[in-house]
A and B are shown apart, each in its own frame.
Chain A
């Protein structure tokens, strides 16, 4: 199999997408040359430099850490085209104009490396037509590579072959995008707007159509089409505001222009109010007003009839709210169809028309139903794609209902459902053997590319029938908190600890389970992996802490914390290597579990932090202790109190302000993980890699370090230096008196207690100090109030 090595990449066009794609390449450690037009005056790379500056400010952050920016070189087409010779991948992301793209292709062609892959990020132009703009020799290495905004966070990349694209090149590119950039790749056919935008924009049109038909307000529709039906919080109209109403109108116009024969063509039309808003310059978020607008402190919504704004409410009817609580989709859809409530009718109508459209278009736009469903999950943030929803709701019933509505003239198009959808005996399009391909009338199995072997529990569509982790492997031990299991087919010698609690919070049963699992592993396994699906762990089980606290038995609290510390120390000093596989939130006690592992395998999207200050506590599962150890190690061999303090200072601020990393790279920067840890861009590969790492460590003769001794600490001189910062923050009104107290407790723990700076201590000493500080804080009413508030509201209390 051909392997793609991207030593350097070029991105042509430093617009919103180009710059962010460059950023994500840089995140992945690929040096990038980012091109745009030469500026007419001043710095000739001015356009690109401005875009690079913009990357630092954009939210959510396109860069996984700000220092990644240094791997992006600014360039312009007038001066720097020879730099293309070094680039193994060239991604074109300029404006959607065939003539401009062709001009650019002609310009770059002489400078391309003879092996470079050239790809266009076009969101809808014909790839086969674009290929004509390139020399014949380049065409086998040319394809579409369609990222979604924001490219770091949206999982989908559609790759689109032209008639001349070399199959092995596409496989190599798919492999690279999947593993190196962490993307979910689907192969789209070369039709306008490809797959996700074709279905997704149609879905928006259907929602707009039925909003008017049922006379619903935009706020109500957003309440109906958001998380309640498994779609993003911004639902439909707020998404339109975020995307930009002008952009949306442009996309709709493109559909109208490029799809004249689409049976739904009459609906490819922006509603009048959209044009009116655009004319007024109300383009959505970028102009601080569109369909929604913030007036004073109120969020207001457009009333299309009057053209005025009114306060946004968006209440679901009681009937629909009850129906949407039903988890069984068959029951839910039956109820929606049966109800007279316009909100229910609306919901059925938007699902019906998207099902109808997807069924008719499947054979034209995608190889199979799985690709289409994943496109909607990964490109539009839907919890489920249309086909899997349909299947889960009962294929035949829904198909009949759609057919009946078409016949009754209720559907948006009179085009009949394709015969395969109405086949007798059809129960769906997804099955263990594969997903239905309308164009081939066959079931397409999952890709056989070796890269997917790295995903032991890949994301599945409903109906695929794959085993969940909980149903897999051999269980060696379990209690209420933890399951220790193995995957004998992968490596029978590596145990997997999976936490079972909600959000993987760490309570007494998890602590007990981890210690038992470690003991079990020491007795008969080669290594351990801590893995479960995201999040890694949201921290200690606060309810349990509050319960113990309520008894007033603080000796018991002390024992609880000591047990927690014993668990993290068991992880650290296990006789077999423990590898923590972190993804999503790894907060508080979860962060401490990961910090104590022999090694960490982190998904890029790892959000780690010691956030105990938010509930008036400090890390006491060894978190402060680990940072005291790190500081001592970094300061060695001249570990004066001064030197140690220099390394404590940033950590202290992170703990005091409950800072959470926004990526694995930041987690390393903050010291929650190490530079030697492994970062994976595709979270689905975590378990595979963690098992391999545990195996490699075991085979290399792993033994834990001896328990740390002779640790120089910053002591009371260090505490004073940190306290100086706190005085200024408190008396400057930035923190409360109680924040001061909590932060000072962290300072005491990080500096090894109120002892002489430079004193040598051991781990037991440091653990005792942080435990004492923790218990002392817990006795305060302010901390107890913070915990209660967090449990009641899920939000931190500032007191």
Chain B
């Protein structure tokens, strides 16, 4: 281990398929999903002795109940890694998975470790409330300047839609395209390289026979994409967050379950084990905005990371811009002048789902494999974050 600033490389990145909330992974625990992702990513780099893993950082947006107990360490042990491998859980809501990648890269850059795993996991099926099991906000937030903290995410999307004047039609059209791209990508097998299929075994009561019925199936593809969607169907949905609003279940991200893991190594490890990297971690930045317009967060983060890395916006061949809501994705695209043709070529969270804290790691896997497949050089993962933040990370195919 050399204690100097150095580059960190992704040598493996994989994820589970993403299932709809209360869908295929209804009875699957988030720590099991995490263990599967960790186990799979380790298996993809047989040259690295798992005992060399310096730490495992796991992003999770609601780390309580089934996701509590420092789920990172639980995941490490369930994955069968040596008990000498540590793990810790981090939370920055929807960017947690990307934050884990950035933190892991930072440790390698600083020479604190040569091998790191960054991961994310979230089961929105096990959480009775979207914001957590028991939300107990500080009574002080109801002052005017902090009222935005109390806003549900959908209402912040309505705020963005009205302030940036994103029409209902534009949001629905964006949602339709997300589904179309996702369906095409699944049909073409574009997600295969990044996906580690998950074998589900549900144990359900069969009341007629008195027996426990085991239902086994292997989940290979994301569950959320809908080939049967249409503008007419989308137009029929009612706004749910504002009485005369425009944000619907159809033009918002889906609630989902999923996990991903990424292995990062130092240059030294690359050389020692003759590893082939997928990508180099180029940089990462976060920024803050008003909580009531949290969806615009990437506008605060993307210029920073471009400046930090010296990469021009036009150099980005692939942008994974998390579609928390069509309204905010469109507002961010317009404000920054991002090239829509390079955004989410395989669809986004409206079709593919958004398992909060896992999304950053999942889309990192999509990006680095996508760059490999298409030969693009630079790619970015970015998202908005509840309570008003944005995050953006840049990767370079090598």
Binding site for B on A (CB under 8 A): 641-642, 645-646, 716-721, 723-724, 727-728, 731-734, 754, 757
Asked whether A724 lies within 8 Å of B137 as measured between CB atoms, the reply is: yes
Interface pair A728/B134, CB less than 8 Å apart = no
**Which A residues are in CB contact (< 8 Å) with B135?**
721, 724
Is A728 in contact with B139, judged by CB distance below 8 angstroms? no
- B150 / chain A contacts, CB cutoff of 8 Å: 723-724, 727-728
| B243:A716 contact, CB within 8 angstroms | no
How far apart are the CA atoms of A773 and B281 in the complex, in Å? Answer: 58
Q: Quick one: which of B285-303 are within 8 Å of A by CB? A: none
A720-B142, A727-B142 as given contacts; A732 in contact with B243, CB under 8 Å: yes
8 A Cβ contacts from B222-273 to A: 241-245
Quote the shortest CB–CB distance from A656 to chain B (angstroms): 16
Most buried by B among A645, A721, A724, A754: A724
- From B7-15, B17-25, B151-159, B384-392, the one touching the partner chain is B151-159
A732 touching B158, Cβ below 8 Å: yes
Is A727 a contact partner of B243 (Cβ separation < 8 A)?
Answer: no
Give Cα A732 to B137, complex, Å: 19
With contacts A720-B142, A733-B242, A733-B243 taken as known, whether A728 is within 8 angstroms of B137 at the C-beta atoms is no
Q: Which of A718, A731, A733 contacts B151 (CB 8 A)?
A: A731
Nearest CB on A from B257, distance (A): 23
Name B134's contact: one of A642, A719, A734 (CB within 8 Å). A642
Which bracket fits the contact residues of B?
10 to 19
CA A646 – CA B132 in complex, angstroms?
13
Q: State the CA gap A717–B139 with chains docked (Å).
A: 6
Q: Is B136 an interface residue (CB 8 A)?
A: yes
CB <8 Å contact, B245 and A732: yes
- Contacts of A724 on B, CB cut-off 8 Å? 135, 137, 141, 150
Provide the B129-170 mask, 1 if CB < 8 A to any CB of A, else 0: 000001111110110000100111001001000000000000
Say which residue of B138, B155, B242 sits within 8 Å of A720 (CB atoms).
B138
Enumerate chain B residues within 8 angstroms of A645, measured Cβ to Cβ. Answer: 134, 136
What are 14 of the A-B contact pairs (CB < 8 Å)?
A641-B136, A716-B139, A717-B136, A718-B136, A719-B139, A721-B136, A723-B139, A723-B142, A724-B137, A724-B150, A727-B142, A731-B147, A731-B151, A733-B242
Task: For the complex, give the distance between the alpha carbons of A641 and B147 in Å.
Answer: 22
Q: Smallest Cβ distance from B114 to chain A, in angstroms?
A: 43
- Contacts known (A723-B142, A732-B245); A646 close to B151, Cβ less than 8 A: no
CB distance from A250 to the nearest CB of B (A): 35
CB distance from B158 to the nearest CB of A (A): 7
Nearest B residue to A643 via CB reads B134
Interface of B is mostly: loop
Known contacts A642-B134, A724-B150; is A731 also within 8 Å of B139 by CB? no
> Could you tell me the distance between the alpha carbons of A754 and B241 in the complex, rounded to whole angstroms?
28
Q: What's the nearest-Cβ distance from chain B to residue A373, in Å?
A: 48
- What is the chain A residue whose CB lies nearest that of B138? A720
How far, in angstroms, from A83 to B134 measured CA to CA in the complex? Answer: 45
Residues on the A chain within 8 Å of B241, using CB: 728, 732
Residues of B near A723 (CB, < 8 A) are 139, 142, 150
Q: Which of A718, A721, A732 contacts B242 (CB 8 A)?
A: A732
Q: A733-B242, A733-B244 are in contact. Are A728 and B155 (CB under 8 A)?
A: yes
B147 and chain A: residue at smallest CB distance = A727
Report the nearest A residue to B243, measured CB to CB. A733
* A721-B141 Cα distance, complex, nearest whole Å: 11
A728 touches B151 (CB 8 A): yes
Question: B245 contacts A720, CB within 8 Å?
Answer: no
CA–CA, A368 to B61, complex, Å?
A: 73
Q: Are B142 and A646 in contact (CB under 8 A)?
A: no
Chain B contacts of A733 at CB under 8 A? 242-245
Interchain nearest-CB distance for A482 vs B (Å): 43
B136, B137, B147, B152: residue with the most chain A Cβ atoms closer than 10 Å: B136
CA distance A719 to B139 in the complex (A): 8
B152–A728 touching, CB < 8 Å: yes
Contacts of A716 in B (CB 8 A): 139
Most B-side CB within 10 Å, residue of A717, A719, A733 = A733
- Bits for B152-192, please: 1 = Cβ < 8 Å to A, else 0: 10010010000000000000000000000000000000000
What are the residues of chain A within 8 A of B134 when measuring CB–CB?
A: 642, 645-646
Question: A101 CA to B147 CA in the complex, in Å?
Answer: 66
Tell me the smallest distance from the CB of A86 to a CB of chain B, in Å: 14
Residues on A with beta carbons closer than 8 Å to the beta carbon of B139: 716-717, 719-720, 723, 754
How far apart are A634's CB and chain B's nearest CB, in angstroms? 15
Q: How far is the CB of B292 from chain A (nearest CB, A)?
A: 8
Contact (Cβ within 8 A) B137 A721 = yes
A733 to B139, CA, bound (A): 22
CB distance from B151 to the nearest CB of A (A): 6
A719 to B136, CA, bound (A): 9
How far, in angstroms, from A182 to B71 measured CA to CA in the complex? Answer: 56
The contact of B155 among A641, A732, A757, by CB within 8 Å, is A732
- Closest chain B residue, CB of each to CB of A714: B136
CA distance A734 to B151 in the complex (A): 14
- Inter-chain CA distance A646–B135, complex, in Å, is 10
Given contacts A642-B136, A728-B152, A731-B147, 19 further A-B contacts (CB under 8 A): A641-B136, A642-B134, A646-B134, A716-B139, A717-B139, A720-B136, A721-B135, A721-B136, A723-B139, A728-B150, A728-B155, A732-B155, A732-B158, A732-B242, A732-B245, A733-B243, A733-B245, A734-B243, A757-B136
